[in-house]
């Protein structure tokens, strides 16, 4: 941060004063205290501590510091009253710089070799949980690969992968309770996978067959499951954010031990609904966890063309929202951050913002060829050297919880199940034609009854104009 010393009489107090602007974001004030798992010993038990309570007290305590330190400065002994409360004044004309000299650091627990960084704060993960997380990350990889190929073969019309973002997908889901209501963007199928959506259910939606819960109405990957508390995906970007604020508020009013969790990409934070969603969640004091997957690209638009701020984490404070930047490719860090954020949201009834740094290894979708706008070796680098699945695998293997044999068994099983799921989905009947007209309203209105009759007649009269298999 550029600090103006020009006219300050007291250099030290001015320094302290300026540093306070970033004090709230300082790692040591918000991170968990040493009662967490220590990096020097292995944890094999399944007991989870409940450390977040102390975390909460620490973090709120810090917020009172700035007031205290401001008063030390000679200039700022007096305060002015304005709507919104008291504010100190200064005769020194000082602009807040457009950026800090130092970017907000990224919370990370595992290094690239899958080793826990000494003195890391994190919430311990048992063997059972870690293995499950790894399996799901690997399954997501296999699922993405096979569905992508299915699209290439013309068997489904569209697909988009989450390659590179498996840690965000799975670790965030693992950190939530099943009662937390998820409002996704579209690159979070791993959350649904974690909660129990089967490979068949994924395939059915992609094929839009009779078993698709969405009844074939939307493009592939627009999954939804009320059973698993995962709102149906819609293509417009960021529309889910203010909705998440409403969902969180409902949970709060119903006094549920649950929060809303909603995802957005870096590009989506430019939408007006991002502003609306965060502001409403903050003002309404709604328990919402906003998770931004900053993967560097919005289709072909690099983040340097998306905003001029230090990413998304710095925007949280602008709304009065507690925020953290996390290494999105570090499953343990994502798990700890989301778990902590979720506890804060629920116990303190407030929104929390998480910016998960990552990289979109895949193309935006099957309609995109990202080599047209970015270097192939950039993609390769992230795919090979910064792979979140490999990194977590190393840690799990180092603990003795996973082997090469487990790996090949998992991958071949997943592959087999997926191929079977696709074959089965392809064979399923199509949706009956009447589903074109249902659910526009709760009850079909007269105009739709007429249109359905009219269409039925047309289809019977000229079946060659229409695709086969849609029972009338």
Partner 1 sequence: MAALLGRSCRKLSFPSLSHGARRVSTETGKSLNLYSAINQALHIALDTDPWSYVFGEDVGFGGVFRCTTGLAERFGKNRVFNTPLCEQGIVGFGIGLAAMGNRAIVEIQFADYIYPAFDQIVNEAAKFRYRSGNQFNCGGLTIRAPYGAVGHGGHYHSQSPEAFFCHVPGIKVVIPRSPREAKGLLLSCIRDPNPVVFFEPKWLYRQAVEEVPEHDYMIPLSEAEVIREGNDITLVGWGAQLTIMEQACLDAEKEGISCELIDLKTLLPWDKETVEASVKKTGRLLISHEAPVTGGFGAEISATILERCFLKLEAPVSRVCGLDTPFPLVFEPFYMPTKNKILDAIKSTVNY
Assess whether 364 carries a catalytic annotation.
yes
Shorter beta-carbon distance to partner 1: residue 249 or 297: 249
Binding residues for partner 1 restricted to 222-241, rule: CB under 8 A = 222, 224-226, 231-232, 234, 236, 239, 241
Residues 190 and 170: their CA atoms lie apart, in Å, by 5
Which residue out of 74, 149, 305, 450 is catalytically annotated? 149
Residues 327 and 52: their CA atoms lie apart, in Å, by 20
Q: CA triplet 337, 343, 348: central angle to 5 degrees? A: 125
Which residue out of 235, 367, 403, 408 is catalytically annotated? 235
Tokens 């090949």 sit on residue: 408
Establish if 441 lies at the interface with partner 1 (CB under 8 A). yes
CB 290 to partner 1: min, Å? 13
The residues near 363 (Cβ < 8 Å, ≥ 6 apart) are 161, 369, 370
CB 445 to partner 1: min, Å? 4
How far is residue 106 from each of residues 118, 273, 330, measured CA to CA in Å?
16, 25, 11
CB 351 to partner 1: min, Å? 13
Shorter beta-carbon distance to partner 1: residue 180 or 330: 180
Shorter beta-carbon distance to partner 1: residue 94 or 444: 444
Residues 195 and 180: their CA atoms lie apart, in Å, by 11
The residues near 339 (Cβ < 8 Å, ≥ 6 apart) are 52, 123, 175
CB 227 to partner 1: min, Å? 8
Q: CA triplet 72, 73, 74: central angle to 5 degrees? A: 110
- Rg over alpha carbons for the chain, rounded to the nearest Å, is 25
Shorter beta-carbon distance to partner 1: residue 263 or 280: 280
Select the span of 139-147, 377-385, 419-427, 445-453 touching partner 1 (CB under 8 A). Answer: 445-453
CA atoms within 13 A on the CB side of 120: 22
Select the span of 65-73, 249-257, 336-344, 398-406 touching partner 1 (CB under 8 A). Answer: 249-257
Q: What backbone phi and psi angles, to 5 degrees, belong to 196?
A: 120, 10
Assess whether 365 carries a catalytic annotation.
yes
Cα dihedral 11, 14, 19, 23 in deg (nearest 10): 130
Count of Cβ atoms closer than 10 Å to residue 451 Cβ: 14
Assess whether 13 carries a catalytic annotation.
no
Establish if 440 lies at the interface with partner 1 (CB under 8 A). yes
User: Dmax over Cα atoms in the chain, in whole Å?
Assistant: 90
Encoded one letter per residue, x for contact with partner 1 by CB under 8 A and - for no contact, window 254-273 reads x-----x-----------xx
Select the span of 36-44, 150-158, 244-252, 391-399 touching partner 1 (CB under 8 A). Answer: 244-252
Choice from 67, 74, 426, 439 touching partner 1 (CB under 8 A): 439
Binding residues for partner 1 restricted to 273-312, rule: CB under 8 A = 273, 275-277, 279-280, 283-284
Select the span of 48-56, 243-251, 399-407, 414-422 touching partner 1 (CB under 8 A). Answer: 243-251
Establish if 253 lies at the interface with partner 1 (CB under 8 A). yes
Q: What backbone phi and psi angles, to 5 degrees, belong to 260?
A: -90, 140
Shorter beta-carbon distance to partner 1: residue 108 or 315: 315
Select the span of 78-86, 187-195, 251-259, 362-370 touching partner 1 (CB under 8 A). Answer: 251-259
Shorter beta-carbon distance to partner 1: residue 419 or 455: 455
Contact indicator for 402, 393 with CB cutoff of 8 Å: yes
Assess whether 235 carries a catalytic annotation.
yes
The residues near 234 (Cβ < 8 Å, ≥ 6 apart) are 218, 222, 240
Residues 271 and 276: their CA atoms lie apart, in Å, by 9
Positions marked catalytic: 149, 235, 364-365
Q: Which residues bind partner 1 (CB under 8 A)?
A: 181, 183, 212-215, 217-218, 222, 224-226, 231-232, 234, 236, 239, 241-251, 253-254, 260, 272-273, 275-277, 279-280, 283-284, 438-442, 445-447
């Amino acid at each position: 941060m550029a600090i103006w010393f020009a006219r300050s009489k007291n250099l030290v107090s001015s320094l302290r004063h300026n540093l306070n602007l970033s004090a709230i974001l300082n790692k040591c004030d918000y991170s968990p205290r040493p009662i967490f798992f220590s990096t020097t010993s292995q944890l094999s038990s399944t007991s989870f501590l409940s450390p977040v309570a102390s975390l909460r007290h620490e973090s709120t305590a810090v917020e009172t510091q700035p007031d205290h330190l401001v008063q030390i400065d000679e200039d700022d002994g007096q305060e002015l009253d304005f709507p919104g409360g008291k504010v100190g004044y200064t005769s020194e004309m000082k602009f807040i710089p457009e950026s800090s000299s130092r970017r907000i650091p990224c919370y990370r627990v595992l290094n690239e070799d899958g080793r826990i960084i000494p003195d890391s704060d994190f919430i311990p993960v048992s063997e059972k949980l870690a293995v499950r997380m790894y399996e799901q990350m690997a399954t997501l990889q296999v699922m993405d690969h096979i569905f992508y190929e299915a699209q290439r073969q013309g068997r489904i019309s569209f697909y988009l992968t989450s390659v590179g973002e498996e840690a965000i997908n799975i670790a965030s889901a693992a950190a939530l309770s099943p009662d937390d209501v998820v409002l996704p963007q579209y690159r979070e199928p791993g959350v649904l996978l974690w909660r129990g959506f089967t490979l068949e259910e994924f395939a059915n939606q992609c094929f839009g067959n009779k078993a698709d819960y969405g009844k074939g109405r939307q493009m592939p990957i627009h999954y939804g499951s009320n059973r698993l508390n995962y709102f149906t995906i819609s293509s417009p970007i960021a529309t889910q954010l203010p909705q998440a604020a409403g969902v969180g508020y409902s949970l709060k009013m119903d006094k549920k031990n649950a929060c809303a969790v909603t995802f957005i990409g870096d590009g989506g934070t430019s939408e007006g609904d991002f502003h609306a969603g965060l502001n409403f969640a903050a003002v309404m004091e709604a328990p919402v966890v906003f998770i931004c997957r900053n993967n560097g690209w919005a289709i072909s638009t690099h983040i340097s063309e998306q905003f001029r701020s230090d990413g998304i984490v710095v925007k949280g404070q602008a709304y009065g929202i507690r925020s953290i930047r996390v290494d999105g490719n570090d499953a343990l860090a994502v798990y700890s951050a989301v778990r902590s954020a979720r506890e804060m949201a629920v116990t303190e009834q407030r929104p929390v913002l998480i910016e998960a740094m990552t990289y979109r290894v895949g193309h935006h979708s099957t309609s995109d060829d990202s080599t047209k706008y970015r270097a192939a070796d950039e993609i390769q680098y992230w795919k090979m050297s910064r792979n979140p699945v490999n990194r977590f695998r190393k840690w799990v293997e180092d603990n003795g919880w996973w082997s090469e044999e487990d790996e090949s068994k998992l991958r071949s099983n997943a592959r087999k199940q997926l191929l079977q799921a696709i074959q089965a989905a392809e064979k399923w009947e199509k949706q009956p034609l009447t589903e074109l007209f249902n659910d526009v309203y709760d009850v079909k209105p007269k105009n739709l009854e007429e249109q359905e009759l009219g269409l039925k007649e047309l289809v019977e009269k000229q079946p060659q104009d229409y695709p086969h298999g849609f029972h009338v």
